[in-house]
Structure 1
Amino acid sequence: MAPPSPELVDELIEEIVLRFPPDNPAALIRAALVCKSWCRLISSPRFRRRFREFHRSAPMLGFLLDLWDNDDKSNIARFVSIAFSSSSSSSFPPRADRRGFALDARHGRVLLYTTHPSSQQHAPFLLDYCFVVWNPITDEQKELPVLTWYPHSPAWKAAVLCAGATCDHLACRNDEPFLVVLVSVAIDDVFVLVYSSETGTWTGPTAHIHLGPTLVYYAVIPMGPSLLAGGQLHFAIEDGRRIISYDIAECFLSVITTPRSHCVGNMGLVTAEGGGLGVVGVEGYKLYYWSPVLGPDDDGWDWKLGMVIELDMMLSIDIGVPTTSFHVVGFAEGWDLVFVCGSDGVYAAALESGQVTKVHGTTHFFGIVPYMSFYTPDLARSVLSPPSAHQ
Structure 2
Amino acid sequence: MSMSRLRSSAPPLEDEYLLPEILLLLPPQPSSLPRASLVCRRWLSVVSDPDFGKRFRKHHQKPPLLGFFRGYSVSTEHHFTPVLDSPDCIPAARFSVPNNNDEHWNFLGCRHGLAILLNMWLREVMVWDPITGLQHRVASPRGLMFDPDIHWVYWQAEVICADAQQGHAHGNCFSGPLKLVLIWVIGFTKAFACLYESASGLWGDIVSMDSTDFMLCIRPGILVGNALCWVLSSGKVIVFDLQTQLLDMIEKPVDSHINTDSYGLVQPLRTHDNRLGLAYLSDLTIQLWERKSNCNGVVTWVSLQKNIQLEELFPNRMFTHLKTIITLGYDEDTNVIVLSTVGGVFMLQLDSMKIKRIYKGAGICYDNFHPYKNFYTAGRGVGLELGQSGKVNT
Letter in 2 for 1:213: T
2:31 to 26, 39, 63: 26
1:96 and 2:91 matched? no
| Aligned counterpart, 1:374 | 375
Cα distance in 2 for partners of 1:368, 1:236 equals 15
Cα distance in 2 for partners of 1:274, 1:13 equals 37
Once the two structures are superposed, what CA deviation does each residue of 1:307-327 show, in whole Å capped at 9, x if it has no partner? 322221111243664433110
Distance 1:381 1:35, change over 3 A: farther
Give the drift of 1:344: 1.8
Secondary structure of 1:245's aligned partner: strand
Letter in 2 for 1:37: R
TM-score, normalisation: structure 1:
0.81
Cα distance in 1 for partners of 2:351, 2:82 equals 23
Letter in 2 for 1:13: L
Cα distance in 1 for partners of 2:43, 2:238 equals 49
Secondary structure of 1:349's aligned partner: strand
Letter in 2 for 1:358: R
Cα distance in 1 for partners of 2:193, 2:37 equals 46
Cα distance in 2 for partners of 1:169, 1:190 equals 33
Distance 1:320 1:165, change over 3 A: closer
Give the drift of 1:96: 1.9
Count of aligned pairs between the two proteins: 359
Cα distance in 2 for partners of 1:315, 1:328 equals 15
Identity of aligned residues (%): 25
Distance 1:319 1:337, change over 3 A: closer
Alignment of 1:99-248 (within 5 A): 99=99, 100-116=105-121, 128-146=122-140, 149-151=146-148, 152=150, 154-166=153-165, 168-187=168-187, 188-205=189-206, 207-210=207-210, 212-215=211-214, 217=215, 219-222=216-219, 225-237=220-232, 239=233, 241-248=235-242
Once the two structures are superposed, what CA deviation does each residue of 1:362-385 show, in whole Å capped at 9, x if it has no partner? 4445211001112243337548x9
Cα distance in 1 for partners of 2:112, 2:97 equals 21
1:258 to 252, 255, 279: 252
Distance 1:68 1:52, change over 3 A: closer
Secondary structure of 2:317's aligned partner: coil
Once the two structures are superposed, what CA deviation does each residue of 1:347-372 show, in whole Å capped at 9, x if it has no partner? 11111111211111244452110011
Give the drift of 1:30: 1.7
| Aligned counterpart, 1:14 | 20
Letter in 1 for 2:147: Y
Please identify which structure carries the higher strand content.
Answer: 1
Alignment of 1:273-288 (within 5 A): 273-288=272-287
Distance 1:131 1:365, change over 3 A: farther
C-alpha RMSD of the superposition = 2.9
Once the two structures are superposed, what CA deviation does each residue of 1:237-266 show, in whole Å capped at 9, x if it has no partner? 2x1511111111121222112324245411
Letter in 2 for 1:304: S
Cα distance in 2 for partners of 1:34, 1:94 equals 26
- Where do 5+ consecutive residues of structure 1 fail to align? 117-127, 386-391
- Where do 5+ consecutive residues of structure 2 fail to align? 1-6, 100-104, 390-394
Contact 2:344 2:360 in 1 (8 A): yes
Cα distance in 2 for partners of 1:318, 1:35 equals 50
Distance 1:3 1:81, change over 3 A: same
Letter in 2 for 1:249: Q
Alignment of 1:326-337 (within 5 A): 326-337=325-336
